[in-house]
Amino acid sequence: MSMTQQAAPAVDTPPAPGPKQSDGRTRQRPMALRLLARPEVGVFLGAVAVLVFFLFAAPPVRDGSSMANILYQSSTIGIMALPVALLMIGGEFDLSAGVAVVTSALTASMLSYQLTMNVWVGVIVALLVSLAIGAFNGWLLVKTGLPSFLVTLGTFLILQGVNLAVTKLVTGNVATDDISDMDGFSQAQKLFASTFTVGGVNVKITVVWWLVFAALATWVLLRTKYGNWIFAVGGNKHSARAVGVPVTFTKISLFMLVGFGAWFVGMHQLFSFNTVQSGEGVGQELIYIAAAVIGGCLLTGGYGSAIGPVFGAFMFGMVQQGIVYAGWNPDWFKAFLGVMLLGAVLINLWVQRTATRR
């Protein structure tokens, strides 16, 4: 071999182009299946089905004012269902959410009326009380390791008794006094319980707040580090703690978010009706939890969305008002609600299994 000759490179001939063999794990799934894998898609289909059903079964539903009533009913459930859903994604749930709404309203009403103070003082104190209740639930849970069912069941019973006993002790009645003529009432009413007109239809401000809170919760859940922490502690809190997620802070703050929701709904009730019945709120916690479950949130945590509970709350509002507009016996409401709950859960289950099937 001469000195000018070059050795041939030791490179194998490249393989001929053609379809690669795949074991299926890296295969791109169709867009329809990827959409079905979203937790809110199943409840969206269920909400559309319920809406179409009542559009035919109850013709008054087609009227704009009727739809405004349905959205208002849905918003009062949906505002609370949002923080309850975030808490469920974080692996916990709160049985005291229903009576906490009344506790907040009673605090603001009695404090303002009995001390003859501006109602905003009562509103701020009620916010602090609601956040403290949520912080207590979260702190007791992380310090003792008890299930949230036991912790919040105890809080539920405590608040139920305190609401009734303190109201009777302070007012001599089971309801608070009318605060509609007190300083600051009209300003607070504009914020929590006002009405505006769209196309000749009166719409409650709670519908706007409901959608704003839903957009905010979606952004927090999908675009922030805190949202990642919620999914992490709901999936496996020990693994989350091992990678540096502040589990204690996340759990307690989620319970405080439920407290914030209870405060907001409580203020709406107070400034809508000017007075509060101390025995109300019992059973509402199950409605909030059911709206979150129908919305695709798992009771085991680590899975769900903020948009799903919006459709879940809409289904509740649609059924509740649809039965009235259809002229049916309202005694069947709970039975119809139970059927709808089971149907929605089964549809969600089928959609998820179809979407995750390879």
Query: From the first residue on, what is the mean pLDDT of each consecutive set of 10 residues in the chain (358 residues)?
Result: 46 54 58 68 82 88 90 94 94 93 95 91 96 96 92 95 93 90 92 91 94 95 94 90 92 96 96 91 89 84 89 89 84 77 72 64
According to the model, what pLDDT value does residue 7 have? 46
Asked if residue 218 lies in contact with residue 306, where contact means CB atoms within 8 angstroms, the answer is: yes
Paired tokens of 122: 């009562």
According to the model, what pLDDT value does residue 15 have? 55
Spatial distance between the Cα atoms of 355 and 358, rounded to a whole number of angstroms? 8
Of residues 134, 115, 176, 148, the one with CA closest to residue 263: 134
Spatial distance between the Cα atoms of 98 and 74, rounded to a whole number of angstroms? 15
How far, in Å, are 34, 38, 357 from residue 24 at the CA level?
A: 16, 21, 12
Asked if residue 259 lies in contact with residue 134, where contact means CB atoms within 8 angstroms, the answer is: yes
How far, in Å, are 39, 75, 88, 293 from residue 298 at the CA level?
A: 9, 22, 7, 6
According to the model, what pLDDT value does residue 2 have? 44
According to the model, what pLDDT value does residue 106 have? 95
According to the model, what pLDDT value does residue 18 have? 54
Paired tokens of 262: 């209870």
The DSSP symbol for 33 reads H
